[in-house]
Structure 1
Amino acid sequence: MDRVIQKKKWSTKRILTIAGIVAVCGLIAASLYFTSGKSRLNVDTERITISEIKKGSFQEFIPVNGIVLPVTTIYLDAMEGGRVEEKYVDDGTEMKKGQPILRLSNTDLQLGLVTQQTNVYNLLTQMQISRNAAQQNTVNKLNQMTDVESQLKEAERVYKLNKHLYEQKAIGLQEFKQAENNYNYYMQKKSLTKTILKQDSSSNLQQLTQARQSYEGSQNALNVMRKKVGDLIVRAPVDGQLTSLDAEIGQNKNKGERLGQLDVTSGFKVRADIDEHYISRIFPGLMGDFTLSDKTYKLKIKKVYTQVTNGRFQVDMEFTEAVPQGIRRGQTLQIRLALGDETQAILLAKGGFFQQTGGNWIFKVSENGNVAYKVDVQLGRQNPDYYEVLQGLKPGDKVVTSSYENYGNMQELVLKAGNSQ
């Protein structure tokens, strides 16, 4: 009788197959585990900068360079062209108003002055002759008037006498009419002489007025010419310091050409250059300060020049309080220009991390201080010392603020004291 032989359930072959499968799965699982884990880098804490987030007063400001200038600068231009004949002073001289600086010569102007003077003298002589002639003519007309009045009186006397005699039948009509006609003739002659005298006086007055106006016009032209010749001597328009003089003896200067400048030394201002990025945020009244000889001085923007040159524009600032002792024209100042009022904010110290992260994330140190890991942050305003933190960090947190240049795509930094990579 045959016996049924039972087949073994776990054969050696099957066990080996299952073991192989398990080993492969284990390898796959290990691979996934190790590749999916965070990339880490050991970092020596002595080679990095760890800063603590804190809350405090924050004011947005930018550093700008300013140059000290006199509060007023007056440019000296040649009012008239000419050749430099003489220099009375040199650069740096303290000038008084009206004090001569240099003398130019201009032959054409000087000849023009002589010609104009001659014209004025000729007009004056002609006006004197015309006035004398007018006066003589008036005297003659007055003499004529006197003669006519005398003749009229005599004719009137004869007329009245003959009229009385005619009424008495002592003389005839013919003699009476002759006396009457003679009287009427002298009456008309007197009226005509008076009219002529009046017209002559008006004509003389008009001629004298025209001659006087012509003379005054020529005199004004002479005064202008004298001033033009006088402008050949360049004088200080105000009290101040002559800070530049671009003229040498024998040099020809054209009309309007710059000769130098005069600085009014009664005060100073500061002219600062600012990046055009801030042009929409700069306006008169903004405050700034600088430190000189361990003392802080305040400035205020007085004027903004909106013209942009090479990516920068300028502003003029004035001292609001004391002016530093011994400050000089051309001195450079390092100014902190405030762009807003002081407020409370969460502060993150500036560092090299920003170049690699753009301020979008940062390595935050864990509570035990062993690891620093990436966290997303949002930064707002900034000044040369701090960034304003809007999101992602709170006061008391510690972060790595030094450069991330050598960290590549690392997710975590393992912080170890005294060890370097």
Structure 2
Amino acid sequence: MSVVRIQSEANSATLATGMDRVIARRKLPRWALVAAGAVILLLLALAWWLAPHGNRQTVPADRLTISEVRNGTFDDFLPLRSLVTPLLTVYLDAVEGGRVEKKVVEDGAFVEKGQLLAVMSNADLQLATLRSETDVAQQLNNLRVTELSLSQTLSENERAVTQAENELAKAKRLYDLQQPLAQRGFVAAKVFGDTKDDLVFQQKKLREVRAAQSTQGRLQSSQLTQLRATARSLQAALGIARGNLDQLNLRAPVSGQLSSFAIEVGESMSRGERIGQIDSPGRNKLRAQVDEFYLGRVQPGQVATVDYAGKTYRLKVAKIFPQVKNGIFEADLWFVGPEPQGIQRGQTLQAKLTFGDPAPARLLPNGAFYNDTGGQWVFVVAPGGGSAVKRQVRLGRRNTDFIEVLDGLEPGEKVVTSPYTGFADKDRLDISQ
């Protein structure tokens, strides 16, 4: 036991002197740690710069159109693509339906007012007109019988008054004759009394006959007036029926050039069906198509011009059609003075509508960007040309070449004026060369 303990102590001493030796650690210099941190930060910043961000986008320079803001004179006008159309167009509709029996003129012919164009037939309408004529004739005959009866009654009343007046005159003469004789006793009192009573009776009778005649005269006069008005209405109805029958003969309502008249013999036409139109001869207007942006600025009476064959012709805005279709509304321009010689209907002319006089302004070249932003903001290019930043602006009038800058841009600044398709929601553009 004592030997083992001595060996363990010896081993412990050996381990203490050989295996449990402390090893000193080596440390990096401070400058190396600082350099390593700087390199790491630089790498992180470079990775952040190169990584895509939600509010910025890299765009090739050849995809963009960059324009410069400058001072100049703004011409407030609008070019209009216009179509030559007739000044006046009257449409032809079938007032009554029927079958085309005869075509008198051909499409494209010049016609005079009232000229016969075609003849149609309608058996039902013809029979209905005949029935109407018969009914009206019978009613008119009844009215005439009634009117004759009233006239006879008026005549009888007048004869009754005349007779009463005559009898009164006789009674008055007899009374005047007997009165002085009765006072002297030559006529009996009873006889004179009867004569006096007869005079009073005849006076009363005349008053009653006249009163009856007056009352009946008023009633009969009113009834005659109504009968005559009814007769006129029946005559008018008969005239309308005959007029509808005459509508089967298609006539030109005005003079002019007949167009779109494509009916054929044997063809059946419905009531109200469009059968053609007549255009005013030798007089034209321009039907212009205008962007809906200018709906509030185009007003009747504004002046426009059109250049044709080396001459300038004046027009005015005559009518505006405010219905917007596919971003376009229409307006009619009438010539003021002579029209261009040789223009053809359906021909396209380029007109120029003037809104105001030229005035000094800051100008930005017009571009497709306006359709994407509505003129509320633009991408302004940085001085170096490597980036562009979104900026709120206020733009005013515009024409085909320039847009008036009211606020937000200064002369010399550059703006991206090409379409903003694909990056309109970004705040910054990185322009790669």
TM-score over 0.5 for the alignment? yes
Specify the alignment match of 1:150 in structure 2: 170
The yes-or-no answer on 1:162 pairing with 2:182 is yes
Contact map agreement 1:362 1:374 (CA 8 A) in 2: yes
Partner amino acid for 1:227?
I
State the Cα deviation string for residues 35-76 of structure 1 (Å, max 9, x = none).
Answer: 9999x99999xx999988764322244444323333333344
Q: Cα–Cα, structure 1 residues 226 and 305, in superposed 2: closer, same or farther, change >3 Å? A: same
Q: Cα gap change, 1:398/1:146 in structure 2, threshold over 3 Å: closer, same or farther?
A: closer
**1: distance between equivalents of 2:171 and 2:30?**
171
Structure 1: where are the runs of 5+ without partners? Answer: 1-13, 367-371, 414-421
Is 1:361–2:380 an aligned residue pair? Answer: yes
CA distance in 2, matches of 1:209, 1:349: 83
Query: Residue 356 and residue 251 in structure 1: after superposition, are their counterparts in 2 closer, same or farther (change >3 A)?
Result: closer
**Root-mean-square deviation over aligned CA pairs:** 4.9
Equivalent of 2:140 in 116, 120, 135: 120
Q: Which segment drifts farther, 49-58 or 194-203? A: 49-58
CA 1:153–1:63 in 2, change beyond 3 Å: closer, same or farther? same
* Contact 1:273/1:314, CA 8 A, preserved across alignment: yes
Measure, in 2, the Cα distance between the counterparts of 1:190 and 1:354: 104
Inter-partner Cα distance in structure 1 for 2:307 and 2:236: 55
Q: Which moved more, 1:108-117 or 1:233-242?
A: 233-242
Q: CA deviation at 1:214?
A: 0.8
Match in the other structure for 2:213: 200
Deviation string for 1:375-396 (max 9, x for gaps)?
A: 668684543223446666646x
User: Which of 400, 404, 414 is residue 384 of structure 1 equivalent to?
Assistant: 400
Aligned to 1:96: 112
Residue of structure 2 aligned with 1:344, choices 345, 360, 371: 360
User: What is the SS of the residue equivalent to 1:284?
Assistant: coil
CA drift at 1:337: 3.9
Q: Does 2:201 align with 1:181? A: no
Q: Tell me, in whole angstroms, the C-alpha distance in 2 between the residues paired with 1:18 and 1:189.
A: 158
Q: How far has the Cα of 1:192 moved from its partner?
A: 0.5
Give the Cα–Cα distance (whole angstroms) in 2 for the partners of residues 176 and 144 of structure 1.
26
Q: Corresponding residue for 2:90?
A: 74
Residue type matched to 1:361 in 2?
A: V
1:230 maps to 2:243: yes
1:292 is aligned to 308
Deviates more, 1:211-220 or 1:283-292: 283-292
Match of residue 303 from structure 1: 319
Residues 1:35 and 1:217: Cα distance change in structure 2 (over 3 Å): same
The answer to whether structure 1 residue 134 and structure 2 residue 154 are counterparts is yes
How much does 1:296 deviate? 3.8
Relative to 1, partners in 2 of residues 1:100 and 1:127: Cα closer, same or farther, differing over 3 Å?
farther
Cα distance 1:319–1:68, how it changes in 2: closer, same or farther (>3 A)? same
Q: Which residue of 1 aligns with 2:53?
A: none
Does residue 327 in structure 1 map to residue 311 in structure 2? Answer: no
Between 17-26 and 196-205, the greater mean CA deviation after superposition: 17-26
Gap regions ≥5 residues in structure 2:
1-25, 51-57, 422-427
Aligned residue number for residue 240 of structure 1: 256
- Sort the Cα spacing of 1:363 and 1:270 in 2 relative to 1 into closer, same or farther, 3 A: farther
Give distance in 1, aligned partners of 2:289 and 2:48: 53
Distance verdict in 2 for CA 1:296–1:177, change over 3 Å: same
- Partner SS for 1:227: helix
1:251 aligns with 2:268: yes
- Secondary structure of 1:360's counterpart equals strand
TM-score, normalised by the number of residues in structure 1: 0.67
- After superposition, the C-alpha distances for 1:126-151 in whole angstroms (9 at most, x for unaligned) are 42343245325533552454245335
Aligned residues: 382
2:17 aligned partner: none
C-alpha separation between the residues in 1 aligned to 2:104 and 2:169? Answer: 74
CA contact (8 A) 1:269 1:319 kept: yes
Tell me which residue corresponds to 1:219.
232
Match of 2:294 among 273, 278, 285: 278
Checking the alignment, whether the CA contact within 8 Å between 1:348 and 1:388 is kept in structure 2 is yes
Q: CA deviation at 1:195?
A: 3.0
Distance 1:355 1:218, change over 3 A: closer
- Indicate conservation of the 8 Å contact 2:378/2:415, yes or no: no
